[in-house]
């Protein structure tokens, strides 16, 4: 199976077994919006729980909050999202593909730069040691011609950007003869400004001032509550605030299943520290987060760091943790050193003093901040795509198994009476009573035992417990382990401790 095919099969499997459904499917779905089914919600909750416990239980100086999706609109002015979370859109009418107009123009300028650089390299070869690059750039006729073209387009582009002149964007694209790489035509629509934030009205007057946004990230809910948490929790720097919650982005190009959604969930932690110590914390959180990922046992080689060379204006260091998805290594989590950008801007815009008084040095400062930010849904996709396996089980038969790390598997144990008579279902119910307070379980008495095992494999249940005629005599059952498929006869009274050893989340936490 190619990776592409595997991905399609996985999407179908997620639907068939109640993990993930396209939203509003009875109305033919809603693009880039997905719902979690009965299995998906358990998996997702387990992932969230593992992250939450790793943050708030294992670190005395990290506390959690749960802020709202709606925030005062000024929040998004301070964070820069109102001004900068925009993309200018353009469509090609022939290919029906959508592009960012600014990227088309920047690519064009990049090509002119490339031409000039090539000319410089030619000159360097020709003149050797005596080559004076600055002079060459000032005098070479080919470079001067290209430079004039570059400057003209660049100046128009900068002016258009400053004036937010979308008509001019299109005119530049037409004047430069920029064509769609797919259709090869310049049959473009008008350019439209596109802010990735969803907005709505808070009251029903319809006035523009009533406009509020659905948060495009959860982080700002932490920043605007910094003072509340620091004061009421008597938190001392360094400390962190963690949050899990929904975020909304009107993504222009939304593909790849739950990798890029318009409504998704984030797990973010903002770690506040003294200015000057942020690089130390950045390094520590990089290591810490990689450890969290690797503890799940999904293969160390499936993760890598991708350090950013081009930094956002507010960041002084940034890296992504990338995971090997079926469509290649892609961002799973972002770790950013955000300086005092967010708190500093909220301080300016709100007029409130957002500072920390350091009792040791007797000085006040706006804390610096290191952020770790991971998408829950991307994490679900990482787990599912890594876990899905088709295995030969002899006699030319195969089984589909989700080898989900046991502590985050949706169902921990299945209880299966061998037959539906002779008192076996009743004893199986007693087994259920034995395990139900500690573990998620399923009771299944339909179909042959082999088919029931397959159903549990397909949802990733680590243990199946079978109640048979011997069980009636000696109170023992067969316990089958998902990955090795080995079966063992054990007393019912020992079931809880056997299952617990493998599925208890504290086993993962202890590795961190």
Residues lying near ligand ATP in the complex (CB under 6 A) are found at 217, 249, 251, 260-261, 264, 266, 331-334, 373-375, 377-378
Closest CA to 90 of 152, 213, 174: 174
Calculate the CA dihedral of residues 200, 202, 206, 208 and round it to 10 degrees.
Answer: -70
Q: How many residues does the chain have?
A: 512
Cα distance between residue 419 and residue 184, in whole Å:
66
Least separation, in Å, of the C-beta of 89 and ligand ATP? 16
Least separation, in Å, of the C-beta of 311 and ligand ATP? 13
Q: Are 460 and 478 in contact (CB under 8 A)?
A: no
Cα distance between residue 75 and residue 224, in whole Å:
8
Least separation, in Å, of the C-beta of 332 and ligand ATP? 6
Considering the complex, state which of residue 331 and residue 358 has its C-beta at the smaller distance from ligand ATP. Answer: 331
Least separation, in Å, of the C-beta of 264 and ligand ATP? 4
Least separation, in Å, of the C-beta of 23 and ligand ATP? 14
Q: Are 199 and 85 in contact (CB under 8 A)?
A: no
Considering the complex, state which of residue 85 and residue 169 has its C-beta at the smaller distance from ligand ATP. Answer: 85
The contacts of residue 121 (CB under 8 Å, 6+ apart) are none
Any bridge partners for residue 98, and if so which? 91
- For 453, phi then psi, to 5°, come to -60, -45
Residue 218: half-sphere exposure toward Cβ, Cα within 13 Å = 26
Closest CA to 36 of 246, 328, 197, 221: 246
Considering the complex, state which of residue 6 and residue 254 has its C-beta at the smaller distance from ligand ATP. Answer: 254
Q: Where are the alpha helices (DSSP H) in 460-504?
A: 469-474, 495-503
Considering the complex, state which of residue 146 and residue 377 has its C-beta at the smaller distance from ligand ATP. Answer: 377
Closest CA to 286 of 219, 337, 341: 337
Least separation, in Å, of the C-beta of 44 and ligand ATP? 13
Considering the complex, state which of residue 42 and residue 371 has its C-beta at the smaller distance from ligand ATP. Answer: 371
Considering the complex, state which of residue 165 and residue 331 has its C-beta at the smaller distance from ligand ATP. Answer: 331
Least separation, in Å, of the C-beta of 368 and ligand ATP? 18
Considering the complex, state which of residue 259 and residue 439 has its C-beta at the smaller distance from ligand ATP. Answer: 259
Least separation, in Å, of the C-beta of 336 and ligand ATP? 7
Q: Are 373 and 219 in contact (CB under 8 A)?
A: yes
Q: Which residue is nearest to ligand ATP (CB)?
A: 375
Least separation, in Å, of the C-beta of 376 and ligand ATP? 8
Considering the complex, state which of residue 326 and residue 462 has its C-beta at the smaller distance from ligand ATP. Answer: 326
Considering the complex, state which of residue 375 and residue 460 has its C-beta at the smaller distance from ligand ATP. Answer: 375
Least separation, in Å, of the C-beta of 37 and ligand ATP? 18
Find how far residue 158's CA is from the centre of its chain. Answer: 33
Considering the complex, state which of residue 326 and residue 375 has its C-beta at the smaller distance from ligand ATP. Answer: 375
Closest CA to 89 of 195, 182, 183: 195
SS (H, E, C) 41-86: HHHHHHHHHHHHHHHHCCCCCEEEECCCCECCCHHHHHCCHHHHCE
Considering the complex, state which of residue 289 and residue 452 has its C-beta at the smaller distance from ligand ATP. Answer: 289
In the numeric block, which tokens belong to residue 412? 């921990």
Q: Which of left, alpha, beta for 8 (phi over 0: left; psi -120 to 50: alpha)? A: alpha
Least separation, in Å, of the C-beta of 450 and ligand ATP? 38
Considering the complex, state which of residue 30 and residue 186 has its C-beta at the smaller distance from ligand ATP. Answer: 30
Least separation, in Å, of the C-beta of 261 and ligand ATP? 4
* DSSP codes, 85-130: SEEEEEEBTTT--EEEHHHHHHHHHHHHHHHHHHHHHHHHHHHGGG
Q: Where are the alpha helices (DSSP H) in 388-448?
A: 424-435
């Amino acid at each position: 199976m190619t990776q592409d095919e595997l991905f399609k099969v996985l999407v179908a499997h997620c639907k068939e077994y109640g993990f993930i459904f396209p939203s509003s499917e009875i109305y033919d779905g809603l693009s880039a919006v997905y719902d979690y089914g009965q299995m998906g919600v358990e998996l997702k909750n387990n992932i969230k729980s593992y992250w939450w416990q790793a943050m708030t239980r294992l670190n005395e100086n990290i506390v959690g909050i749960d802020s709202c999706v709606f925030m005062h609109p000024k929040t998004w002015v301070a964070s820069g999202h109102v001004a900068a979370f925009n993309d200018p859109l353009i469509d090609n009418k022939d290919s029906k593909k959508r592009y960012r107009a600014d990227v088309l123009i920047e690519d064009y300028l990049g090509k002119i730069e490339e031409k000039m650089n090539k000319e410089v390299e030619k000159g360097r070869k020709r003149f050797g040691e005596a080559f004076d690059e600055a002079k060459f750039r000032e005098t070479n006729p080919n470079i001067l011609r290209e430079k004039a073209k570059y400057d003209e387009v660049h100046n128009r582009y900068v002016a258009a950007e400053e004036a937010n002149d979308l008509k001019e964007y299109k005119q530049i694209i037409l004047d430069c003869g920029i064509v769609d790489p797919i259709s090869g035509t310049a049959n473009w629509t008008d350019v439209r400004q596109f802010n990735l934030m969803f907005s709505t009205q808070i009251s029903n007057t319809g006035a523009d001032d009533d406009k509020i946004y659905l948060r495009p990230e959860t982080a700002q809910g932490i920043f605007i509550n910094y003072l509340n948490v620091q004061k009421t929790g008597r938190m001392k720097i360094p400390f962190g605030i963690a949050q899990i919650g929904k975020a909304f982005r009107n993504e222009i190009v939304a593909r790849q299943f739950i990798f890029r959604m318009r409504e998704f969930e984030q797990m973010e932690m903002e770690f506040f520290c003294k200015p000057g110590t942020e690089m130390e914390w950045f390094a520590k959180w990089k290591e810490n987060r990689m450890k969290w990922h690797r503890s799940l046992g999904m293969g160390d080689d499936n993760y890598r760091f991708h350090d950013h060379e081009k930094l956002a204006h507010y960041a002084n260091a940034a890296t992504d943790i990338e995971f090997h998805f079926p469509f290649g290594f892609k961002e799973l989590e972002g770790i950013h050193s955000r300086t005092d950008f967010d708190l500093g801007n909220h301080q300016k815009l709100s007029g409130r003093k957002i500072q920390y008084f350091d009792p040791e040095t007797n000085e006040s400062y706006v804390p610096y901040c290191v952020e770790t930010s991971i998408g829950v849904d991307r994490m679900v996709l990482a787990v599912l795509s890594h876990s899905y396996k088709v295995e030969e089980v002899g006699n030319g038969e195969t089984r589909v198994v989700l080898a989900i790390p046991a502590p985050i598997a949706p169902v921990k144990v299945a209880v299966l009476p061998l037959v539906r008579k002779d008192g076996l279902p009743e004893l199986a119910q007693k087994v259920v009573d034995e395990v139900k307070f500690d573990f998620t379980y399923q009771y299944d008495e339909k179909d042959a035992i082999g088919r029931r095992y397959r159903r549990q494999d397909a949802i990733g249940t680590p243990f199946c417990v079978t109640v048979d005629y011997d069980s009636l005599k000696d109170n023992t059952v067969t316990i089958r382990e998902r990955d090795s498929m080995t079966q063992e006869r054990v007393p019912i009274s020992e079931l809880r401790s056997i299952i617990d050893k493998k599925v208890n989340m504290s086993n993962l936490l202890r590795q961190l």
